[in-house]
Structure 1
Amino acid sequence: MHHIKCKNPVSSTESNLHSLSLPPPMEPRIVLITGCSSGIGLALAVKLANDEQRRFKVIATMRNLAKREALEEAAGDALNDTLEIKKLDVCSESSIRECMDSLPGRHVDILINNAGVGLIGPIECQSIDDMKGVFETNFFGVVRMIKEVLPDMKRRRSGHIVVISSVMGLQGIMFNDIYAASKFAVEGFCESLLYQAMKFDIFLTLVEPGPVVTEFELKTNEEAMLGDYSKTDPETVEMFTNFYLKNTKAIFSSLGQTPAEVAEHVLHVITMEEPPFRHQTNQVYTPVTALKYADPSGELVNDILYKLVFHHDTLMQASLQAIKFIRWKANKVQQGARMLGLI
Structure 2
Amino acid sequence: MARRNVLITGCSSGIGLALAIKMAKDEQERFKVYATMRNLAKKDALEEAAGHNLGKTLEIKQLDVCDEQSIKTCVNSIPDRRIDVLVSNAGMGLIGPIECQTIDEMKTVMDTNFFGLVRLLKEILPDMKKRKSGHIVIISSVMGIQGILFNDVYAASKFAVEGFCESLAIQALKFKLQLSLIEPGPVVTEFERKVFEDGMKMDLSAADEETADMFTNIYLKNYKQIFQSLGQSAEEVAEHTVKIILAENPPFRHQTNTLYTPMTTLKYADPNGDLPIDIFYKMSPLFIHQGPVLHQGCLLPSFTSFPDVSPAWD
TM-score under structure 2 normalisation? Answer: 0.92
Identity rate, percent? 65
Offset at 1:226?
A: 2.6
How many Å apart are 1:216 and its aligned residue? Answer: 2.5
Aligned to 2:103: 128
Deviations along 1:318-337, one digit per CA (max 9) or x if unpaired, are 438x989xxxxxxxxxxxxx
The reply on whether 1:94 has 2:69 as its aligned counterpart is yes
What are the within-5 Å matches in structure 2 for residues 192-341 of structure 1? 192-311=167-286, 314=289, 316-319=291-294
After TM superposition, list the pairs within 5 Å mapping 1:37-56 onto structure 2: 37-56=12-31
Match of 2:134 among 159, 168, 172: 159
Matched residue, 1:16: none
Once residues 227 and 112 of structure 1 are traced to their aligned partners in structure 2, the CA distance between those partners, rounded to angstroms, is 32
Segment of structure 1 superposing worse, 259-268 or 279-288: 279-288
2:81 to 82, 106, 112: 106
Aligned position for 1:11: none
**SS of alignment partner, residue 120 of structure 1:** coil
1:65 correspondence with 2:40: yes
Shift of 1:253: 0.9
More strand by percentage: 2
RMSD: 1.6
Q: For residues 297 and 226 of structure 1, what CA distance do their matches in structure 2 show?
A: 37
Aligned residue for 2:166, secondary structure, equals helix
User: 2:8–2:20: 8 Å Cα contact kept in structure 1?
Assistant: yes
Cα 1:312/1:34, change in 2 over 3 Å: closer
**Does the 8 A contact of 2:217 with 2:288 survive in 1?**
no
Structure 1 outlier segments of 4+, above 4 Å = 311-316
Q: Name the amino acid aligned to 1:223.
A: D
Alpha carbons 2:12, 2:45 under 8 Å: kept: yes
Counterpart of 1:265, as a letter, is H
Partner SS, residue 35 of structure 2 = strand
Aligned residues: 298
Q: Are 1:308 and 1:316, in contact at CA under 8 Å, matched by a contact in 2?
A: no
Q: Do the aligned partners of residues 256 and 312 (structure 1) sit closer, same or farther apart at CA in structure 2, a change above 3 Å counting?
A: closer
Q: What SS does the aligned partner of 2:95 have?
A: coil
> C-alpha separation between the residues in 1 aligned to 2:231 and 2:47?
26
Please state whether the residue corresponding to 2:187 is helix, strand or coil. coil
TM-score (ref. length: structure 1): 0.84
Letter in 2 for 1:173: I
* Residues 46 and 75, structure 1, Cα contact 8 Å, conserved in 2: yes
1:313, distance to aligned residue in structure 2 (A): 5.2
Q: Check whether the contact 2:259–2:298 (CA below 8 A) recurs between aligned residues.
A: no
- Displacement after TM superposition at 1:220 (Å): 2.2
Largest Rg, 1 or 2? 1
Which moved further from structure 2: 230-239 or 217-226? 217-226
Shift of 1:97: 0.4
Report the CA distance between 1:315 and its aligned residue: 5.2
Q: Gapped runs of 5+ residues in structure 1?
A: 1-25, 325-343
Q: Judge which range, 271-280 or 305-314, deviates more.
A: 305-314
Where does residue 142 of structure 1 map in the other structure? 117
Partners of 1:323 and 1:162 lie apart in 2 by: 27
Q: How much does 1:288 deviate?
A: 1.8
Q: Find the aligned partners of 1:270 and 1:282 in 2 and give their Cα distance.
A: 17
Deviations 1:9-54 (A, max 9, x none): xxxxxxxxxxxxxxxxx33100000000000000000000000000
Q: Which string of whole-angstrom CA distances, capped at 9 and with x for unpartnered residues, describes residues 259-282 of structure 1? A: 000000000000000000000000
User: Any unmatched runs of 5+ in structure 2?
Assistant: 300-314
8 Å contact 2:92–2:191 — kept in the other structure? Answer: no
Q: Do structure 1's residue 81 and structure 2's residue 56 form an aligned pair?
A: yes
